[in-house]
Structure 1
């Protein structure tokens, strides 16, 4: 695989957003989930994609190659995505996992620089039932307790134990994912508090989804929590050009556990969709 490069842009509030860049071909920008960073979440897919696509792996503010800032709210994070897209020549595809999928959808609603979107298990909090709310709420609370006690490794494992299956936890553990991501726990706790307080437009809003003109593929695992499947149907029901794909055998952590199958799904989708040569 070609030696990776780097790419940096400056967000409107002055934060540097940095990414590693791999491969050649049509540009795809990958937005990571809440736990890790661009490289941790997506590096397993690269060998299956870099022969056909230029893969940009930016990290959200406070992670990876990016600078930090106290404002970690969804609005600022979408601004970061749009700034990154503005620094790429021509339109690009967006791929987002979990929290990154929500950012990808909102960014696509705001920008003609997005020619297609793959959203992997976007979390729609409003679609959780009481049991799911309790599971995720307990995971967040336990993460906070363990972080306060200084055990960041146990804290990140506690949080992941909410959406991840036991098998996914084992795969992530063996890959060193939790050890590498543990340093982001304080950042994640701050981000979750700000997400909870945010009252601006979100990916759950029908008006936001309805404003997306680009084609969208929503991917969920066959073994995931029900609200992720409900979120996929919600997106497909409101985005004019959206469809849903189930990934057999996968749970929430498909970029870690099913990288080849997910990469194949991504490649097939972008190969089938013609770029929209528009830019804001």
Structure 2
């Protein structure tokens, strides 16, 4: 996220925050998705009461929930919320159970492997990541993985998205995916754009779930600068 933020900061005031229980942010159990939404809404108030939101993966689901609940959200962009809306892949259910069991057993590495595999990370890349310094930082996030599950699991059961679930997201919304991302994720983003009241669907050619800042930042900058209603969904 930081490379994207740095590019957007040339034109906007950009706030990137550590979600509850991550980085320098504290945690106050018990966890509930509504509390994460409250965190976002509090930030909007600190910024003067209006803001545009952008989220990636489970952060996209969080941004969608926040947009339902705050009239000061001006525009919303989401990239590849990990929803499962058809039979392109099996529902993501047992993976969350394995993640929670691994954490209960004190096996954060296993929890991370299961989580990253559930969003389609190829095994060779996963093998490489475990040998990079990045893995140590990811391990510190492992205890909060169930928070992501609480945000997205009900949308990962292979059922179509219901328009009434998203009727409150009335702001102009840009729904993005990568042209080389898994079909199940791309199907979900197209379906999301179809049920949102004012959304445009756009694919970033050649991109995957591991999005390049150079590919997405200019698209976001243009979208956030516009006051126009998004055009009809495109490919």
What TM bracket, shorter-length normalisation?
A: 0.7 to 0.9
Q: TM-score, normalised by structure 2?
A: 0.80
Give the CA deviation at 1:59.
2.2
Q: TM-score, normalised by structure 1?
A: 0.68
Q: Distance in 2 between matches of 1:108 and 1:268?
A: 20
Of 136, 141, 150 in structure 2, the residue corresponding to residue 184 of structure 1 is 141
Give the CA deviation at 1:179.
2.2
- Residue 117, structure 1, aligned to residue 80, structure 2: no
**Unpaired stretches in structure 2, ≥5 consecutive residues:** 156-160, 230-235
Of 107, 123, 129 in structure 1, the residue corresponding to residue 87 of structure 2 is 129
**1:63-74 to 2 correspondence within 5 Å?**
63-74=22-33
Change in Cα spacing, 1:191 to 1:218, as seen in structure 2 (3 Å) is closer
Change in Cα spacing, 1:220 to 1:53, as seen in structure 2 (3 Å) is same
After superposition, give the CA deviation of every residue in 1:31-50 in whole Å (9 maximum; x if it has no partner). xxxxxxxxxxx112233221
Change in Cα spacing, 1:118 to 1:173, as seen in structure 2 (3 Å) is farther
After superposition, give the CA deviation of every residue in 1:102-131 in whole Å (9 maximum; x if it has no partner). 121122122121110001112334x14273
Q: Determine which structure has the larger strand proportion and give its number.
A: 1
Of 17, 30, 36 in structure 2, the residue corresponding to residue 77 of structure 1 is 36
Larger mean Cα displacement after TM superposition, 72-81 or 243-252: 72-81
2:158 maps to which residue? none
Name segments (4+ residues, structure 1) moved above 6 Å. Answer: none
Of 235, 251, 259 in structure 1, the residue corresponding to residue 208 of structure 2 is 251
CA contact (8 A) 1:60 1:77 kept: yes
1:271 maps to which residue? 225
Give the CA deviation at 1:132.
3.0
Q: Distance in 2 between matches of 1:172 and 1:43?
A: 19
**SS at the partner of 1:131?**
coil
Larger mean Cα displacement after TM superposition, 146-155 or 233-242: 146-155
- RMSD over aligned CA atoms reads 3.0
